Amino acid sequence: SSKEQVDMMKVINDTLSLLREKARKKSISLESDLPVSLPLIEANKDQMSRLMINLVDNAIKYTPRCGKVKVRSYNEGEKLILEVEDNGMGIPEKDLPRIFERFYRVDKARNRKLGGTGLGLSIIKHIIEEHQGQISVESKVGEGSKFIVELPLNA
């Protein structure tokens, strides 16, 4: 996929605008913690939007009413860091190694009413690999989840 110089500040703000209504319907506060400026990154802009939308969509979806979702981004050396944190239902430790697999969904019972195909995170993983980046997750059942993405400024 073709790469260009991408302004992640804009990608993040567009994602927040797009998903604000979805968060509002669940009375979830959608917050951001962003620096005054971020360096541009060499990336595919559509894929960066897809990445942010899928992460923030999950955070809203798997967080109960009146919860909180926070997006952070900052520059660290030759990398750009993106963090999406929620105080939602969390992911059991035994499922963590598998959530990036295609069609994998934690606990079919809890997920049935939320809907979805189990593809969001596998798409994210593919996008991050195309950009020589990394993704990690910290999560605790009943407390919340934090997805951390590291992307090189020059892919």
The residues that touch ligand ATP, with contacts defined as CB under 6 A, are 58-59, 62, 86, 88-91, 99, 104-106, 111, 116-122, 145
Sign of CA dihedral 58, 63, 67, 72: negative
- The position carrying tokens 């035994």 is 94
d(CA 78, CA 112): 41
Q: What is the footprint of Mg ion within residues 65-94 (CB under 5 A)?
A: none
State the greatest distance between any 2 C-alpha atoms of the chain, in Å, as a whole number: 43
Q: Considering the rule CB under 5 A, would residue 63 count as an interface residue with Mg ion?
A: no
Best CA proximity match to 54, nearest among 122, 139, 148, 146: 122
Q: How far is the CB of 87 from Mg ion (least distance, A)?
A: 18
User: Which of ligand ATP, Mg ion, none does residue 87 bind (CB under 5 to 8 Å by kind)?
Assistant: none
Q: How do beta strands 29-33 and 68-76 pair?
A: parallel
Q: Considering the rule CB under 5 A, would residue 58 count as an interface residue with Mg ion?
A: yes
Residue 9 vs 104, nearer CB to Mg ion: 104
Residue 120 vs 144, nearer CB to Mg ion: 120
Q: Using CB atoms, what's the residue nearest to Mg ion?
A: 120
Q: What is the DSSP string of 49-72?
A: HHHHHHHHHHHHHTS-TT-EEEEE
Q: How far is the CB of 131 from ligand ATP (least distance, A)?
A: 18
Residue 35 vs 116, nearer CB to ligand ATP: 116
What residues line the site for Mg ion (CB under 5 A)? 58, 120
